Amino acid sequence: PQLAPDASVRTHVDAEVDAIEAFGRAVLKGEIKAPNGKAFTDVLWIGIGGSGLGPLLMIRALQDAGTGLPFHFFDNVDPNGMSRVLAGLGDALPTTLVITVSKSGGTSEPHLGMVQAKRRLEAAGGSWAGQAVAITMADSKLDQLAAKEGWLKRFDMFDWVGGRTSITSAVGLGPGALIGSDIREFLAGAAQMDDATRVADLMRNPAALMAASWFVAGEGSGKRDMVVLPYRDRLEVFSRYLQQLVMESLGKRLDRQGNVVHQGIAVYGNKGSTDQHAYVQQLRDGVDNFFVTFIEALRDSDDIPAIDGERPGDFLDGFLQGTRSALTEGGRQSISISMRQFDARRLGALIALFERAVGLYGELVNINAYHQPGVEAGKKAAAAILNLQSRVEQVLADGQARSVSEVQSAIGDGTVEA
């Protein structure tokens, strides 16, 4: 926050972090209770894109067994998925904290999830206002609704934070606080990495080295995919998180001067050593159109001992080194990131490393890494289809059978396929 351009922004950021930490502590201690007087037992998180992936990464990476509240996600508008989540909550709905995340407050997906959750919660005897939390920009449509209805809590998002980089805002800190993780350590790790990536010396700047490696591997035009292989279960979601961060930031048709360049780096991955039995075969012997990013943490859990002289951690490390050696022998490229241990501080540092690398790579290939015109185009196209759907329903309202061509002719708009 001390790097903010003015004191008011710095104060606002500090106040939000304090408020998030205090809220999480009060909920976990039972000082903030559900409207029925009982402690909150669960969290239903409603968010799309980065507002869903960031929190999911926080939960999978940092939550320990038996600590904090269990999380359930509405991260899509799939009615079958919603039904499954709500059925899983069942009798716990009256003690479920429902957190809706929408930066603009007007995105359709979180709104649809919110109204479905509200109806089911109230049918189960809950009280929406006493269980609902909003994370949105101040004075947005959602913020105004939460204020009018007297929701339990509101946290601010900032207009200068994009969804794919919002994990160090309320979007990621909220889940961190509610699982009992140390969000100060998480932020400290990100800040520590930020300091390291401001050093104007390539060989001492980890994000600059990573961006340069991406540039060289893909010849400055994304000719190689990024395969992310973290050798820890806690980072299984990390490749999905990086898909949005990297591909939404770097996948651009135009450069800053408006020239057509079609930039981008495709990202995929899962975790080691699972992938020894999946796509590593192609990485070793198939088409050479990728580079691998190996991620390892050296310290193992103390409660998993050696049995008959065999340590699972030794095998995990052996698989990583063996896979890397096999790929190197085959002329395949890789980057390795090693951590002494994995914790909240290291997760913050790891996220900041890739965020800064994305920004620097955008500079190298002369594109804007911080807008998403393709996403906006998709939203507009979806809105046009929904409008067409309502017009089709009007034509069919008389109950008369019509062919697709007849429906299209009656409307006089849209393709036969649509």
Active site residues: 248, 277, 379
> What are 418's two structure tokens?
């649509």
Cα(389)–Cα(391) distance, integer angstroms = 5
Phi/psi at 414 (5° precision): 80, 160
> What are 130's two structure tokens?
């006493």
Please tell me what DSSP assigns to residue 94.
G
Give Cβ neighbours of residue 267 (< 8 Å, ≥ 6 apart). 225, 226, 227, 228, 239, 242, 243, 246, 247
CB 410 within 8 A of CB 395: yes
Burial label for 390, CB within 10 Å (0-12, 13-18, 19+), is: exposed
Give Cβ neighbours of residue 183 (< 8 Å, ≥ 6 apart). 17, 20, 21, 24, 173, 176, 177, 344
Distance of CA 27 to the CA centre of its chain: 24
CB 347 within 8 A of CB 62: yes
DSSP bridge partners of 230 = 295
User: CA-based diameter of the chain, in Å?
Assistant: 76
Cα(326)–Cα(285) distance, integer angstroms = 10
Phi/psi at 240 (5° precision): -65, -40
DSSP bridge partners of 3 = none
Q: Which pairing describes strands 42-46 and 71-74: parallel, antiparallel, or unpaired?
A: parallel
Cα(45)–Cα(39) distance, integer angstroms = 18
HSE-up (13 A, CA, CB side) for residue 117: 34
DSSP bridge partners of 153 = 133
Q: Give the amino acid at 54.
A: G
Phi/psi at 98 (5° precision): -110, 115
- Rg value, the chain, Cα: 24
